[in-house]
Structure 1
Amino acid sequence: MLKTLASQIKEYKKASIATPIFMILEVIMETIIPLMMASIIDDGVSVGNAGHIYKMGALMLAAACFSLFSGFMGGKYGARASTGFARNLRKAMYENIQTFSFSNIDKFSTAGLVTRLTTDVTNIQNAYQMLLRMCMRAPFSLICAMVMSFAVNTRIATIYLIAVLVLGVILGVLITRTTKYFRSIFQKYDDLNESVQENVSAIRVVKAYVREDHEKEKFTKASGNVYKLFTKAEAMICLNMPIMQFTVYTCILVISWMGAHMIVSNTLTTGGLSMLLTYCMNILMNLMMLSMIFVMVTMSVASARRVAEVLNEKPDITNPENPVMEVADGSIEFRHVDFSYKKDAKEPVLKDINLKIRSGETIGILGGTGSGKSSLVSLLSRLYDVTKGSVLVGGRDVREYDIDVIRNQVAVVLQNNVLFSGTILDNLRWGDKEATKEECMHACDLACASEFIEKLPKGYDTYIEQGGTNVSGGQKQRLCIARALLKKPKVLILDDSTSAVDTSTDAKIRKAFAEEIPGTTKLIIAQRVSSIQNADHIIVLENGEVNGFGTHEELLENNEIYRDVYESQTSGNGDFDEAS
């Protein structure tokens, strides 16, 4: 874990080294100042030597200024190192998340990844800054003060040593007990973020069903869990301050009492007592700083583990050593394919799929909910890898291709269409960032999207809100189809992507595909038989198996499921799930 995190310090190594150096210089000056103060009292004020007072006063002022400068530089470099470290962690996590396959993403919830990128990294940033500054400053200052105290008077310095040992044991017990709470807190943060994310993303549904009160209760519960754990942890940590103050004041009283007796017996000077009292406060305050460091580190260890998990996660789908960089054509073959989302699943989602599709064919895919339609097409662009068997595109196993190459040549318009904030042109150019406006317009013509775009006040420069909330479902689907067409793929997959458009527009889109991109293999998942009945072949899936494969006429004649669906839809009552 430490090695993983430390690798992200990178260009901030110099700042990370400079910070503790300046902190040590600050401590050295702070250690020298009490010596000068004692000298002023004993050799200046007591004997009336004004020259010595001025001389030592000037030196004290210089030491204080240098200490102030060192502290400022330590703070400056510490802030630079910690914020830079946090930036690198977030960047590395985000970049690694981009390489994840769907199965990797399934392992971490979306809310969990957001928490790790925000709250967890912030905790590590704060802990790192404290480690660079206080974790170097406090122990070094404590040791220097302890050494100087023993040099002045061993008996009184022993009081410090006993206080340090007692406090160390007490703080160790407190930290051990609070650690378990902090480990649980961030898991509750995930639940809290998930509640917020789900509510905000589905706010229209929440309002439509008047479920605001239910969502408030859910949020209150998630927030309450975080509150309870933090309260328990903070209740333990709060004991730190009164214990510390009790020890400090006890030490001051004991030192003052012993020091007064020693001054009377001439075994200690007034300046020496003043110096010892200063070192007393120094030692105990540094011990308090150390306790704060341990608390912060304890809290950040849980965050560090969670961040390291994301950084160390290896994508399940990777490029082969010598990837194929060109897809010959759009031919597709499934050879004894089994597929499961989880390795330990009892039943595969797809079972012994054997299919051959020629390049340029239009293939319809029909099946009930959960029959494996989306899973089948997800294997073509390696969104998932097969569990058994092989999937071939262009005559080669998809696992032999470079991932970017196969995904550019197998364009997928997913069931859940997503548009991003930006103009219509910005969204279209996700398909091809170099596409001209004319190419974008042509793709929109094929997808029957140009007819509504041209009616918009700003046309192709119309701004799309996040998630495409300012366009209808059918408009969103047509824009996503146009975006996929701009990739000029060998294989185009439409995963129920025309469900929100009317039958007339659906027919226009199918006609445009047949005329304009005849060489592209088209796989169309649909619930409406009318959307696929003119396809070259139709696949009927049931429970993850191929129940039928043939033309519309062949399936009407020899496939009972297809015939039932067709008859229920042409008679005007029922859908696929109801019929099957």
Structure 2
Amino acid sequence: MAGNTETVARKVVSLILAVCVDLSLFYASGCVVTHSVFGHLARLWVSAALRCLALTAVTLFSLGDFKPLLIRFITAHSLLPAVFETGSKALYHEETQCGLLADIRCWLMCAGASLAAALFWEITIPDADDAAAGKEKTQKARELFVRVLLLYKPYYHLLLGGLVFLSLAVICEMFIPFYTGRVIDILGSQYQPNEFISAVLFMGLFSLGSSVSAGCRGGLLLCAISAYTCRMKVKLFGALTKQEIGFFETIKTGEITSRLSKDTTLMGRTVCLNVNVLLRTFIKTLGMISLMMNLSWKLTFLVLMETPITGLIQNIYDTHWQRLSLAVQDSMALANEAANEVVSGIRVVRSFNTEKHEARRYDDRLMDTHTLKTRRDTVRAVYLLARRLTGLGMQVFMLYYGRLFIRSGQMTTGNLVSFILYQSDLGDNIRTLTYIFGDMLNSVGAAGKVFEYLDRKPQVSTEGQLKPDQLKGHVSFRRLNFAYPAYPNKTVLQDFSLELKSGQMTALVGPSGEGKSTCVSLLERFYEPQDGEILLDNEPLKSYDHRFLHKKIAVVNQEPVLFSGTIRDNIAYGLPDCSLDEIQEAARKANAHDFIKQLEKGYDTEVGEGGGQLSKSERQRIAIARALVRQPQVLILDEITSSLDTESENKVQQALASCPNQTLLVIAHRLKTIEKADQIVVIGDGRVQERGTHQELMDRKGNYYKLSEKLFTEGNSPQ
């Protein structure tokens, strides 16, 4: 604590000493000019060099070391009067009062301008580690921004048209204040009708041209943004559907939908509109500065002194605003996720009477978002206050000096009015420039999240090319070791080997959670085993064409998923060339044709969202028909009999028996379902514990015999 107090005291003493030394030299230079020891400009540069050396020596003596920020401040503070006076003399052949007299007001003005410039430099171009981190972040943002622009390539003609109309709108808009001041000068002096009519006419034409061009610019850019956003949504959706199943288990649904719905829109609108605003503001700012220099170069320099202060305020605001905006986006994604979970599981919520609990949970998420938004809006309110106070202070200075220039005959009243109109726009334009460039780079944060998904390579490859004309359906699991991506430390299958012979029915049995459904997921290539491989007709599964493989291997799950549309659409899902005869034949095999024909619209009946208009048994039979219509060589039935009555199960089994060359893999808990299987495999602890026919396994009186007593009864079958 004592060390900190000593450090602060030393800094205070150093500051007081530096101010005293600098003020002494500043006033001494004023005395020199009155005695004409040196020429005016020579005196200023000698004084600047002496002040720079003296301040450096005092700082080193009192502090021992100083940061680059102090170096920049001392240099700017010492050289500013000399540079300003030299430029005024060279360009305008004038000398200012600050250059001729040593005055405390001049010293304070130079000190304030130097401090603002040094701080602006420090924040926009930081040093050391901060500079390295900032440079890396900026470089990444620029790369993302370039990628966004390259994706606009199909719409470059719209962007080019928008740029042309943008330039026309800016040019027309710049001349409106000039002719406004011209009209005031004409009315204030001897009235000339022709000049007045000419000025009003030009002002009207420029106003009309600005309005028409701005409208055309906005229309073209909005068309480009709409087309671009639609294209990005399609590209992102396509990339998401190619990811492996493990990706969707580790990434939350709310986050995915947020990227798809919000971030794609944000990257299209923000980047394109920011480029529009940046170009428009830049062109307009350059034109305004040139016109203002013609009206009064002294007032122009005074106005431009606001720029470093504005940039400093803007930079501080941008840092906090972007951080809070990202936090708000993540919080909204969590709230959407909570809502999606409740909507998708509304039956569970209702059955457990947790409506109030879920409402409170959703309210908590919304309150988190509200708190972040409040903090963000508070930052914006403070920023707006600081920005308006800065602008108000500059306007007071400008009006004060403008009155002096009118009295001295350096400006007319109309020129001052034009200058004020330009200045009001110039301040906003400079603030917009300092904000928009940073925001344009920061806004690609949304694009970065979209590109992260677009660039992601699925961990389960779908680049196989093998599509044989004949497929026997012989499946071999060879020494598999597997753990789910979400739980990499929990091994589900260990040294697992199994063979499914063509034309035979294999039944997998065992307690829940021992790896039966995992075998199905691996055979469907939802996941990739960590060790070992799965062969189909002695070829690795990954060698087969993705579309071909999933036509030859079909799965019917215990909880079938139907999509919005008709029964015909659901049975022929993924087969656009499937005929109605093929659909009806598959429905007959699945014992679904009879109940479908009893419906009012038959196969054109809408099933509702998720198949909600049908019973579970009907959904199950349609799912079986969807699998059979593909005429798969390997058919997997995962606990489907739990939703079927005895009659439907018998008919389905008879239909499956009519396909003698089909490899059938069944997971079931009903003894009647599996006792006729050619091979029964008992799985436990991720390994094959027993295999054989029903009678062989019963005679061994091993694990299968115990399971048959506990589980394989009609009364205990899972429903």
Per-residue deviation, 1:247? 2.7
Contact 2:558 2:642 in 1 (8 A): no
In structure 1, the partner of 2:271 is 128
Equivalent residues, number: 576
**CA distance in 2 between partners of 1:122 and 1:576 (Å):** 46
Per-residue deviation, 1:253? 2.5
Cα deviations across residues 452-506 of structure 1 (Å, max 9, x unaligned)? Answer: 2233222222111010111111111111010011111111111212221123322
Which amino acid letter does the alignment assign opposite residue 540 of structure 1?
V
SS for the counterpart of 1:433 is coil
Per-residue deviation, 1:396? 1.4
Counterparts of 1:367-378 in structure 2 under 5 Å?
A: 367-378=510-521
**CA distance in 1 between partners of 2:315 and 2:702 (Å):** 73
Which amino acid letter does the alignment assign opposite residue 454 of structure 2?
L
Contact 1:381 1:398 in 2 (8 A): no
In structure 1, the partner of 2:688 is 546
**CA distance in 1 between partners of 2:160 and 2:431 (Å):** 24
Per-residue deviation, 1:252? 2.5
**CA distance in 1 between partners of 2:504 and 2:258 (Å):** 46
Counterparts of 1:417-566 in structure 2 under 5 Å?
A: 417-430=560-573, 432-515=575-658, 517-558=659-700, 560-566=702-708
Q: Look at both structures and tell me which one has the larger radius of gyration over its CA atoms.
A: 2
Which amino acid letter does the alignment assign opposite residue 539 of structure 1?
V
In structure 2, the partner of 1:27 is 170
Contact 1:360 1:519 in 2 (8 A): yes
1:56 correspondence with 2:199:
yes
**CA distance in 1 between partners of 2:588 and 2:695 (Å):** 31
In structure 1, the partner of 2:369 is 226
**CA distance in 2 between partners of 1:507 and 1:422 (Å):** 29
**CA distance in 2 between partners of 1:197 and 1:343 (Å):** 21
Per-residue deviation, 1:42? 3.4
Aligned in 2, Cα 1:230/1:300: closer, same or farther, shift over 3 Å?
Answer: farther
Aligned in 2, Cα 1:389/1:4: closer, same or farther, shift over 3 Å?
Answer: farther
Counterparts of 1:166-565 in structure 2 under 5 Å?
A: 166-290=309-433, 293=436, 297=440, 300-320=443-463, 322-326=465-469, 328-342=471-485, 345-430=488-573, 432-515=575-658, 517-558=659-700, 560-565=702-707
Contact 1:367 1:576 in 2 (8 A): no
Which amino acid letter does the alignment assign opposite residue 174 of structure 1?
Y
Contact 2:315 2:435 in 1 (8 A): no
Per-residue deviation, 1:444? 1.2
**CA distance in 2 between partners of 1:205 and 1:231 (Å):** 35
Select the residue among 10, 18, 23 that pairs with 2:161. 18
Which amino acid letter does the alignment assign opposite residue 405 of structure 2?
M
Which amino acid letter does the alignment assign opposite residue 531 of structure 1?
T
Higher relative contact order (CA 8 A, sep 6+): 1
Per-residue deviation, 1:43? 5.2
Per-residue deviation, 1:390? 1.4
Cα deviations across residues 22-72 of structure 1 (Å, max 9, x unaligned)? Answer: 223222222222223333333565231111111122222222221112211
Aligned in 2, Cα 1:508/1:352: closer, same or farther, shift over 3 Å?
Answer: same
SS for the counterpart of 2:642 is coil
Q: Percent identity?
A: 27
Contact 1:409 1:489 in 2 (8 A): yes
In structure 1, the partner of 2:189 is 46
Which amino acid letter does the alignment assign opposite residue 536 of structure 1?
D
Contact 2:554 2:627 in 1 (8 A): yes
Which amino acid letter does the alignment assign opposite residue 216 of structure 2?
M
1:162 correspondence with 2:288:
no
SS for the counterpart of 1:334 is strand
Per-residue deviation, 1:102? 0.9
In structure 1, the partner of 2:151 is 8
**CA distance in 2 between partners of 1:571 and 1:177 (Å):** 65
SS for the counterpart of 1:499 is helix
Cα deviations across residues 282-325 of structure 1 (Å, max 9, x unaligned)? Answer: 11222444466468657734322221211111122334475445
Could you tell me which runs of 5 or more consecutive residues in structure 1 were left unpaired when the two chains were aligned. Answer: none
**CA distance in 2 between partners of 1:320 and 1:34 (Å):** 64
SS for the counterpart of 2:562 is coil
Cα deviations across residues 125-184 of structure 1 (Å, max 9, x unaligned)? Answer: 331242132122123322322232223212211222121221110111111122222222
Per-residue deviation, 1:350? 1.4
In structure 1, the partner of 2:256 is 113
Which amino acid letter does the alignment assign opposite residue 209 of structure 1?
F
Aligned in 2, Cα 1:345/1:46: closer, same or farther, shift over 3 Å?
Answer: same
Which amino acid letter does the alignment assign opposite residue 595 of structure 2?
F
SS for the counterpart of 2:190 is coil
Cα deviations across residues 178-226 of structure 1 (Å, max 9, x unaligned)? Answer: 2222222222222111111111111122112221101101111111111
**CA distance in 2 between partners of 1:474 and 1:412 (Å):** 17
Per-residue deviation, 1:97? 1.2
- The normalised TM-score by structure 2 is 0.76
Aligned in 2, Cα 1:208/1:171: closer, same or farther, shift over 3 Å?
Answer: same
**CA distance in 2 between partners of 1:503 and 1:327 (Å):** 35
1:81 correspondence with 2:246:
no
**CA distance in 1 between partners of 2:514 and 2:256 (Å):** 30
Per-residue deviation, 1:281? 0.7
- The normalised TM-score by structure 1 is 0.94
**CA distance in 2 between partners of 1:297 and 1:542 (Å):** 57
Aligned in 2, Cα 1:421/1:564: closer, same or farther, shift over 3 Å?
Answer: same
**CA distance in 2 between partners of 1:12 and 1:341 (Å):** 43
Per-residue deviation, 1:124? 2.1
Contact 2:464 2:542 in 1 (8 A): no
**CA distance in 2 between partners of 1:453 and 1:381 (Å):** 29
**CA distance in 1 between partners of 2:717 and 2:623 (Å):** 25
1:148 correspondence with 2:288:
no
> Which piece of structure 1 moves more, 426-435 or 79-88?
426-435
Per-residue deviation, 1:393? 1.2
Aligned in 2, Cα 1:571/1:103: closer, same or farther, shift over 3 Å?
Answer: closer
**CA distance in 1 between partners of 2:302 and 2:468 (Å):** 75
Contact 2:642 2:717 in 1 (8 A): no
Contact 1:447 1:481 in 2 (8 A): yes
Per-residue deviation, 1:116? 0.5
SS for the counterpart of 2:308 is helix
Could you tell me which runs of 5 or more consecutive residues in structure 2 were left unpaired when the two chains were aligned. Answer: 1-143
Larger helix proportion, structure 1 or 2?
2
Cα deviations across residues 426-464 of structure 1 (Å, max 9, x unaligned)? Answer: 111115332222221211111111232233222222111
Aligned in 2, Cα 1:470/1:318: closer, same or farther, shift over 3 Å?
Answer: same
Aligned in 2, Cα 1:211/1:319: closer, same or farther, shift over 3 Å?
Answer: closer
Contact 1:432 1:486 in 2 (8 A): no
**CA distance in 1 between partners of 2:425 and 2:337 (Å):** 46
**CA distance in 2 between partners of 1:560 and 1:118 (Å):** 55
Contact 2:318 2:439 in 1 (8 A): no
**CA distance in 2 between partners of 1:416 and 1:2 (Å):** 44
**CA distance in 2 between partners of 1:435 and 1:179 (Å):** 52
